[in-house]
Amino acid sequence: MNTDELAALGQQLRVDSVRASAAAGSGHPTSSMSAADLLAVLLANHLRYDFERPEHPVNDRFVLSKGHASPLLYAAYKAAGAIEDGELVTFRKIGSRLEGHPTPRRLPWVETATGSLGQGLPVGVGIALAGKRLDRTGYRVWVLCGDSELAEGSVWEAAEHAGYENLDNLTAIVDVNRLGQRGPTRHGHDLAAYARRFQAFDWHTIEVDGHDVDAIDRAYGEALSTTGQPTVILARTLKGRGVAAVEDREGLHGKPPWRTARACTASRCPRPRTPSPNSAGPVTCTSASPSRRSPPRCAR
């Protein structure tokens, strides 16, 4: 996808995250919105995954370590054509497989259950090790973490292990939105502080504006071409990005969508074609251009 399409897809993921949360009257919309551009670029241009064959051994593995941002994950499934819009808005309803936190028992595309913070990266390290030593099919592991989540000690045990094992098939993406559940994180938007810590464990680090889709695209490319060490992409983002009333504001973590959510009526979701696990290189999207003619009304 090109720049405009990526930006529109990111915005669509935001809109759908808000819509799912609004339908449920709960969930974590602001946590989803900060990471929407990061996931849009990954899904459209870099993740090698066949949604029709989730068991395919060559599929990349994606772990949403900040599992509370499940609306974003489900919005991405919709964008990929794996679920329909009607199912998206069953989020958190009794009987729906779109639970508040993603579970592999119910959804074939979920690698591991997340929601308990600090678990996703350790699991991702294990998968990456298996990828190198056992499976050897060439898949990559992508793990999306929250910044407050990095306060969990298990994250740093995993980081040490990944660096020691030279896991260059592993990329961690940190959504540095400077806020946790109750307020600002220790390091705020100080990406360099996080970089120094990962570098101490022999990681390659990339600092990036997490809402600049071209910069994100380049960062993923750099991660792919880095050998001998795992890569972490430290992305400066804003929690609640895209809706001025909630953007970068404290006290809104896990709050049901606000009044403006009603403005976010769905437009048709673009469907990026993810690359076949057997094909090399990034995908060229042939789907209809995302809805530039009718942009979501909650757009900036």
Ligand X SMILES: Cc1ncc(C[n+]2csc(CCOP(=O)(O)OP(=O)(O)O)c2C)c(N)n1
- Site of interaction with ligand X (CB under 6 A): 31, 34, 66, 68-69, 115-118, 146-149, 175, 177, 179-181, 239, 253
- Find the shortest distance in angstroms from Cβ 180 to ligand X: 4
Residue 68 contact among ligand X, Mg ion, none, beta carbon within 5 to 8 Å by kind: ligand X
Tokens of 90: 């069953």
- Tell me: does residue 275 bind Mg ion (CB under 5 A): no
- Angle of CA points 116, 118, 122, to nearest 5°: 115
Residue 117 contact among ligand X, Mg ion, none, beta carbon within 5 to 8 Å by kind: ligand X
Helix (H, G, I), strand (E, B) or coil at 291: coil
Closest CA to 258 of 34, 86, 36, 21: 21
Distance from CA of residue 87 to its chain's centroid? 20
Spatial neighbors of 294 by CB under 8 A, at least 6 apart, are: 267
Distance CA 276, CA 5 (A): 20
User: Which residues on adjacent β-strands are paired with residue 61?
Assistant: 141
The residue (of 88 and 176) whose beta carbon lies closer to Mg ion is 176
Mode of pairing for the β-strands spanning 204-209 and 231-236: parallel
- Tell me: does residue 267 bind Mg ion (CB under 5 A): no
- Find the shortest distance in angstroms from Cβ 176 to Mg ion: 7
- Find the shortest distance in angstroms from Cβ 271 to ligand X: 26
The residue (of 129 and 233) whose beta carbon lies closer to Mg ion is 233
Q: Which stretch binds Mg ion (CB under 5 A): 80-88, 93-101, 124-132, 169-177?
A: 169-177
Give residues in contact with Mg ion (CB under 5 A): 146-148, 177, 179
